[in-house]
Amino acid sequence: MPVFDSLNFDDHEGVHFFSDDASGLKTIIAVHDTTRGPAAGGTRLWTYDNPQAAIDDALNLSRAMSYKNAMADIPFGGGKGVIMRPSGDFDRKALFESYGKAIESLGGVYCTAEDVGVSTADMEVVRTQTAYVAGLDTGTAASGDPSPVTAEGVFRGLHVAAKNALGQSDLKNVRVAVQGLGHVGYSLCEKLRRAGAKLWVADINEQAVLKAEQELGAVIVSTNEIYAQDVDIFAPCALGGAINSNSIDQLKAKIIGGAANNQLATADMGAALRERGILFCPDYVLNGGGIINVAAELSGRYNPSWVDEKLNGLCQTLNDIFKTAEQENLPTSIVADRMARQRIQTAAL
């Protein structure tokens, strides 16, 4: 399918394809919008079924980054890089060196950091080829893996959601089902447990769930059963599309809020959640902590107080979304999209 015909194209400013036979690099860097500043978004290394799936993922994630960065009130537009994981063994250093060269060739239009399948060590390799990178362990503005800050933003946002949907000012004894125990998901679980929440967890990584059971007292459930747990909050922290036509009728939670990107498989899922009385925390608002941390690095002078202030701003934005959705009887997803587009349009004036 031509990229312009993709349902996810949404008037992207640029979609860039790079390949390098020597390293095995095949990557798509999608730049959705630069109205607010250079496009910023992480890089994902993933095994895709076919090139079209990689293109669609890049487009979808890039658009979400435009909205995320606008809602986080940072001076960046939206972009995303996806690397199609080479089959078999490959030279990881060579792959990310080649990727760094690709980013450099764009001349600052796109800045990157870690996403699924990518580490701070990979970003250090990228930095050998370009300055348009963050999420680093070394350097004057380095702050390391942004995952803990993403988790902190989700944690604070869930307090806001609990107050709105459960009438609770804290998370003590709140039951939370967490889908996905990667860097962000596990960090979120740690924060929830310290706050007195009760945990149900699922992940394809057996070691991760056993660790959560032993360290956090979590109840392990299968990846197929995590949706149907009798809990207050369902927190998708794995890949996108968790809320879909198959999972939605299984949900017993009163709140959906997690770190995963693009949690709604289709746009109509937002309305379907509202019809069922489930409060949805728009993902690109709730999980904006990581890109806020990246923005602090890219400024050249990392300021923890600025990051903390922006996280509090996300919570206020989330609360505003909830109030507007209730007043206008609209899905929170629709309200959030409208607000994000307004912020981008205002920046263009």
Catalytic residue among 80, 191, 198, 254: 80
Is 330:280 a contact under the CB 8 Å cutoff? no
| 17 φψ region: left (φ > 0), alpha (ψ -120 to 50), beta (else) | beta
SS3 of 191, please?
A: helix
Rounded-to-integer distance, Cα 214 and Cα 210, Å: 6
Q: In degrees rounded to 5, what are phi and psi of residue 70?
A: -65, -45
Which residue has 């993709």 as its token pair?
6
Rounded-to-integer distance, Cα 26 and Cα 40, Å: 20
Q: Find, among 306, 289, 349, the residue nearest to 72 by Cα.
A: 289
101 is known as an active-site residue: no
SS3 of 290, please?
A: helix
- Active-site positions read 80
